[in-house]
C-alpha cells in the first residue's frame, strides 16, 4: 500500500469516527452527512485528491430512524443524503465515499462504511434516486451559503427533531456500549 493510500484511509477514518450530530444552529458542532462530507473533502483535497460532494434521495422508512421522531413536515418530500465522490488517481475512477455513521452505531443496524482508499464504500442510506451532479452542486452551494438566520428558521420549523434525533442516536450508542461491555 502506498503512503498516499494510507494517508487517505487515515483521513477517512478520522472523519467517519467523529460521532454523528445534527446541529443546524452550531455549524462547528454539526456532524451530519453534509458536514462530514465537507470535512472529508477538505482533508482529502489537502493530500491532493479531487473530490466533489454528491446527493441522493432515500425513503424515511428505510433509514433506520424511528418515524415517530420525524416531523410530519419533513415526511412530505423525500429526504436527501450527502456523500463524497473521490477521483482515485491510481485508477482514474470516481468512487463514492461516505463517512456518515460513526462505528458506535453499527450495532444499531446503521451501515458503517469501511474504506480501502481505492474502492467505493457503502452509502449510509439506500438511495432511491441519485441527484445529477449539476443539480446536486447547486443545492450544495445553496446549503453552504445559507445565512445563519435561515438555519435558525429551519431549526425552528423542524424542532424538536434535531435534539430528539441526537438523543436517540446517543441512546443507541449507549445500548450498544452496554451490550458490548456485558459480552466482555
Confirm whether 82 is domain-assigned: yes
pLDDT band at 106 (very low <50, low <70, confident <90, very high): very high
Confirm whether 141 is domain-assigned: no
Confirm whether 63 is domain-assigned: yes
Confirm whether 134 is domain-assigned: no
Confirm whether 121 is domain-assigned: yes
Please provide the average confidence, as pLDDT, over all residues in the chain.
92
The DSSP bridge partners found for residue 97 are: 84
Confirm whether 65 is domain-assigned: yes
Cα separations in angstroms, 132 against 60, 74, 98, 135: 21, 22, 17, 5
Cα separations in angstroms, 21 against 5, 40, 180: 28, 16, 22
> Which cell goes with 39?
470535512
Domain that holds residue 120: 3-129+147-183
> pLDDT for 134-175, tens place per residue?
999 999 999 999 999 999 999 999 999 999 999 999 999 988
> Which cell goes with 140?
450544495
Report helix, strand or coil for 97: strand
What is the structure's pLDDT at 181? 43
Confirm whether 139 is domain-assigned: no
Residue with cell 485508477: 91
Question: CA quadruple 96, 146, 65, 40: dihedral positive or negative?
Answer: positive
Quote the pTM value: 0.91
- End-to-end CA distance of the chain, in Å? 33
Q: How many domains does the chain have?
A: 1
Confirm whether 37 is domain-assigned: yes
> pLDDT for 123-144, tens place per residue?
999 999 999 999 999 999 999 9
Amino acid at each position: 500500500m502506498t503512503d498516499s493510500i494510507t494517508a487517505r484511509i487515515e483521513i477517512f477514518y478520522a472523519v467517519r469516527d467523529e460521532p454523528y450530530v445534527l446541529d443546524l444552529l452550531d455549524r462547528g458542532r454539526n456532524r451530519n452527512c453534509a458536514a462530514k462530507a465537507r470535512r472529508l473533502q477538505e482533508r482529502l483535497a489537502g493530500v491532493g485528491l479531487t473530490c466533489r460532494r454528491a446527493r441522493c434521495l432515500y425513503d424515511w422508512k428505510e433509514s433506520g430512524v424511528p418515524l415517530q421522531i420525524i416531523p410530519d413536515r419533513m415526511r412530505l418530500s423525500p429526504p436527501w443524503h450527502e456523500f463524497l465522490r473521490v477521483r482515485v488517481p491510481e485508477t482514474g475512477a470516481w468512487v463514492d465515499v461516505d463517512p456518515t455513521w460513526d462505528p458506535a452505531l453499527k450495532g444499531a443496524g446503521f451501515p458503517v462504511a469501511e474504506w480501502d482508499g481505492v474502492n467505493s464504500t457503502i452509502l449510509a442510506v439506500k438511495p432511491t434516486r441519485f441527484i445529477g451532479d449539476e443539480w446536486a452542486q447547486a443545492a450544495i452551494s445553496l446549503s453552504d451559503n445559507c445565512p445563519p438566520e435561515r438555519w435558525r428558521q429551519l431549526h425552528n420549523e423542524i424542532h424538536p427533531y434535531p435534539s430528539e434525533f441526537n438523543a436517540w442516536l446517543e441512546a443507541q450508542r449507549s445500548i450498544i456500549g452496554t451490550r458490548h461491555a456485558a459480552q466482555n
